Structure 1
Amino acid sequence: MSANWDDLKPRVLSGIAMIAVGLIAVWLGGLVFQLLIAVITGLMVWELVRMLDPARKTEALILAGITALVSMLAMHLPPAVTLPLLLAPSMVGLGRMGRGGVTYGVFTALILLAGFGMMSLRGEFGLVWMLWLVLVVVVTDVAGYFAGRMIGGPKFWPRVSPKKTWSGTVAGWIAAAIVGVIFAQWTIAGTGLAGVSIAVSMASQLGDIAESAIKRRAGVKDSSTLIPGHGGLLDRFDGMLGASVFLVIAGQIIGFPPGV
């Protein structure tokens, strides 16, 4: 039983530090938030390259720097320039990867799109909706972590993610729905926000699974060791990637905020 909880202390301490930094940046918004997102996207691409092709150490640093720069510039340029710019790091990296080039290209594009989506959400819709997105992803992860270890049961996809259970997966959906109901009452959004929150929760879980598949293919346990108890930034923000990309796409279909 204790083996299920042996990573809890460093996970909690690191989580508190990340939450504190994230909340401050989200609260301040503007250039502070954009800078944080730029740094995170750059480090995630660095981790991605190191996983897919460990020999490309110099390329990992170069591509990380390009990604961070593009993320920072994206919010300050016209859309006609921003759109191709967001795909530029993927195209540049394809020719520099010895292996895993396609995975790198697709995942890097998703990282940049997710980062742009988060910056746009904070800039256009304000603090409340950025907090909603963060809370949906966080409660999905936390509910899944505790329900999976306390309830257990059938595994979700043991070949790719051996620790994930159906109980944890469903618990994440329920927790996200609760967040949606609370924000529906707190804002002028309709009750349909609960369903949108569940969909965002599912997208965050898909992001988590996609990153797990990359790690499994690369033969590594964590994307890096940057965060004690959590592994790397990709390990911690994979759910946010999936959720943000989904919201960018779904927002064009349902409108955002939903029900407004």
Structure 2
Amino acid sequence: MTEPSKKWNDLGPRFVSAVVMIAVGLLSVWIGGYLFHVLIAAVCGIMVWELVSMLDSNRSKSPLLLGGVAAVCTLAVVEIPSALAMPLVLAPSMLGLGRMEKGGVTYAVFAALIILAGFGMVELRDDFGMLWMLWLVMVVVVTDIAGYFAGRLIGGPKFWPKVSPKKTWSGTIAGWGGAAVVGGVFAMLTQAHVGLIGLSVAVSMASQLGDIAESAIKRRAGVKDSSNLIPGHGGLFDRFDGMLGAALFILIAGQIVGFPPGS
């Protein structure tokens, strides 16, 4: 097999996996309700499982246990009154601190952030509808795509070479531009005003920070992917790191600027 052929020999599995993930994601967002809640809870639980597996691979029982607890807590957080649910946001973090031999503090912080991000996505879908959930997804996806192509076509100085050697400033800025375009389009199609453009750029930055944060964890753990769960793509944490940062940011920013801006 020639070298160019080897370069593309995972294209088939990657394409099939991507189609399945997109189909399941779009269907659950469209249906919403309890199905969407369960899917988000499962995704959060799997990401916590991957997180523990990366940070503390010697404790074979901890990843499954903590991932399961995180999934149950995430579902409970989105189903019961928010004030009552707040202890459940931190319950997996508290449980994991005593079970992990290393990486406990990193785990505790990220486990809580993962559950909060899941709560943020559910709140966005339930309170504002499918359109605004799609806006969030599109900002994250366009940021990633614009950054990928600009980084390879333009190149230039690296963003943070010690942690993510492939990311460039050109790709980072292109991601902001792509997000601004998404924000402008949604501002024209909805009652939101042009402030949505600025919010979209900020969400784009947050998604990039989520990506960088996961890269730092993988570098510390000495692994290429968070898991091998998805053929050709690695793990769910690899695919949802940007969404994690974006959902957390919109959960906080929505309390400050109002959401959608101007509507």
What is the TM-score with the length of structure 1 in the denominator? 0.96
The answer to whether residue 27 in structure 2 is matched with residue 24 in structure 1 is: yes
Q: Paired residue for 2:59, among 39, 56, 59?
A: 56
- Cα deviation code 1:106-153 (max 9, x no counterpart): 000000000000001101111111000011011111111222222222
Unaligned runs of 5+ in 1: none
Letter in 1 for 2:185: I
Deviates more, 1:90-99 or 1:151-160: 151-160
> Higher mean Cα deviation, 140-149 or 177-186?
140-149
* Cα 1:97/1:80, change in 2 over 3 Å: same
Partner of 2:70: 67
Q: Does 2:240 align with 1:232?
A: no
- The superposition leaves residues 67-107 of structure 1 with CA deviations (integer Å, 9 ceiling, x where unpaired) of 11111111221222111111111111111111000000000
Is 1:251 the counterpart of 2:254 in the alignment? yes
SS in 2 for 1:156: strand
Say whether 1:99 aligns with 2:102: yes
Task: Give 1:113's match in structure 2, choosing from 111, 116, 134.
Answer: 116
Indicate the residue corresponding to 2:197 in structure 1: 194
Change (3 A) 1:178 1:162: same
In the alignment of these two chains, the number of paired residues is: 260
Alignment of 1:1-260 (within 5 A): 6=8, 10-260=13-263
Distance 2:82 2:28 in 1: 24
The one-letter amino acid paired with 2:78 is M
Cα deviation, 1:170-202, whole Å, max 9, x if unaligned, reads 111111111100100111000110110000000
What is the RMSD of the two structures over their aligned residues, measured on CA atoms? 1.7
Residues 2 and 204 (structure 1), Cα distance of their counterparts in 2 relative to 1, 3 Å cut: farther
Shift of 1:10: 4.0
Matched position secondary structure for 2:80: coil
How far residue 239 of structure 1 moved from its aligned partner, in angstroms, is 0.3
Q: Structure 2 counterpart of 1:65, which letter?
A: G
- Percent identity over the alignment? 67
What is the identity, as a one-letter code, of the residue corresponding to 2:203?
V
Whole-Å separation in 1 of the counterparts to 2:133 and 2:4: 36
- CA–CA separation in structure 2 for the residues paired with 1:180 and 1:256: 13
SS in 2 for 1:63: helix
Structure 1: distance between partners of 2:11 and 2:156: 20
- Matched AA of 2:102: R
CA pair 16-146 structure 1, distance change in 2 beyond 3 A: farther
- In structure 2, distance between residues paired with 1:236 and 1:88: 25
Displacement of 1:12 after TM fit? 3.7
Task: Output the amino acid matched with 1:151.
Answer: I
Bigger mean CA deviation after superposition, 199-208 or 86-95: 86-95
